[in-house]
Amino acid sequence: MLNKIRKINIRSILLNFYLLPFAQAIYLPILFSRHCKIKGLYRGGVQINSDLISPGMIQIGYKGSGIIDERYERSIIEFGKNGKLIFHGRVFLGCGIRFSISSQIEIGNNVNITGNTSIICNKKIKIGDNSLISWDCLILDTDFHKIYNNEEILNEDKQIEIGNHVWIGAKTTILKGTIIPNDSVVGAGSLCVGPFFDENAIYAGQPIKLIKRNINWHI
């Protein structure tokens, strides 16, 4: 609790009361680092869908790894016109995270996203409960630029879904249409393309493939 109190700053207080209903804001559930830049933010752009609201339950832009220097790694959260960031419980977003949100990102309870990870959302991205995403990952549900065959768009944006209790290794890239099942591990440096179906499995590679079934992992 003392560590959370030390992280409280005027900016966090103002943003909580701007973003959240008063009944939630009085608990100061979201702590924003001084090194976190927020662009395009609007009232209602951030929501907390949880029955339990507690001080500092969501922390954004703070040091999450010994190899990342909070003083020099600035976090950026950019909201588009329809961008929405929804939290379902306790979440830690480390320093250097970069979100570009033009649609909806949902983050479950007890999720830790280590520093320097980038998420670009044009369609929808959902991250399940109790998941861990390591540093330097890239998650994007769009190709940005459209490819046409006559008038037909060949590369529409596609939703990404990361299940419950999933561990994503460092420097992994997750592309549009990817579905990672519950209780899975994705090896460091993997390239994730398309849906996968086996729970309790290890996936790894470029492109990713099933490595081993019937596993479990613990933080």
Look up the pTM and report it: 0.93
Is the peptide bond between 21 and the residue preceding it cis, with omega within 30 degrees of 0?
Answer: no
* Contact partners, residue 30, CB within 8 Å, separation at least 6: 12, 15, 16, 19, 20, 46, 48, 57, 58, 59, 60
pLDDT at 56 over 90: yes
**pLDDT of 167-213, one tens digit each?**
999 999 999 999 999 999 999 999 999 899 999 999 999 999 999 99
Give the lowest-confidence range in 39-43, 68-72, 114-118, 133-137.
Answer: 68-72
Q: Grade residue 69 by pLDDT with cuts at 50, 70 and 90.
A: confident
Which of the two residues, 44 and 178, has the higher pLDDT score? 178
Task: Map residue 3 onto helix, strand or coil.
Answer: helix
Mean pLDDT, rounded, of the chain: 93
pLDDT at 2 over 60: no
